[in-house]
Amino acid sequence: MDISDLITPEGVMVPLKVTSKKQALQAMARCAAHVTGENERTIFDILLERERLGTTGVGNGIAIPHGRLPALTGMHGVFARLARPINFDAIDEQPVDLIFLLLAPESAGADHLKALARVSRLLRDRAMCEKLRGTDTPEALYGLLISNRASQAA
């Protein structure tokens, strides 16, 4: 599975100017609603519900919020580089500035897990994260996200 299967240029937000986890999830739910055609509030509620189970702040300044929506027919992603890092209740207690939101159909099962693993591999690459943090346009960020094929084999 390629990152290009998950995200479109319209799903890249930079710089996202928010001051809290809730604001970040609201802004990303708004973008995800535009990309998917689904209801913004439904997306936001699913993301909040998932966060209540445990943080999706995976450490090293990265969060991967995710959820499943019954009406979706495919996987969708939204990526944001924040203007300033925020508290995301990450497992390493460090602020987050890179967020990859992943939405999957309710029936996705293993495909959802594969997509999460793919996003996780991409964002575990420290060199890639440095490039993402140093890029200021949505087009350039999108190009970086979809061009990193080296970590696919991992």
Domain boundaries, the chain: 3-153
Reported as a single tens digit per residue, the pLDDT across 42-84 is 999 999 999 999 999 999 999 999 999 999 999 999 999 999 9
The larger pLDDT score, comparing residue 107 to residue 149, is at 107
Per the CB < 8 A criterion, the answer to whether 28 and 86 are in contact is no
Catalytic residues: 66
Residue 154's pLDDT band, with cuts at 50, 70 and 90, is very low
- CA-CA distance, 39 to 33, in Å (whole number)? 6
Reported as a single tens digit per residue, the pLDDT across 110-151 is 999 999 999 999 999 999 999 999 999 999 999 999 985 544
Per the CB < 8 A criterion, the answer to whether 7 and 146 are in contact is yes
Place domain 3-153 in its CATH homologous superfamily.
Mannitol-specific EII; Chain A (3.40.930.10)
Give the burial class of 99: count Cβ atoms within 10 A of its Cβ; 0-12 exposed, 13-18 middle, 19 or more buried. Answer: buried
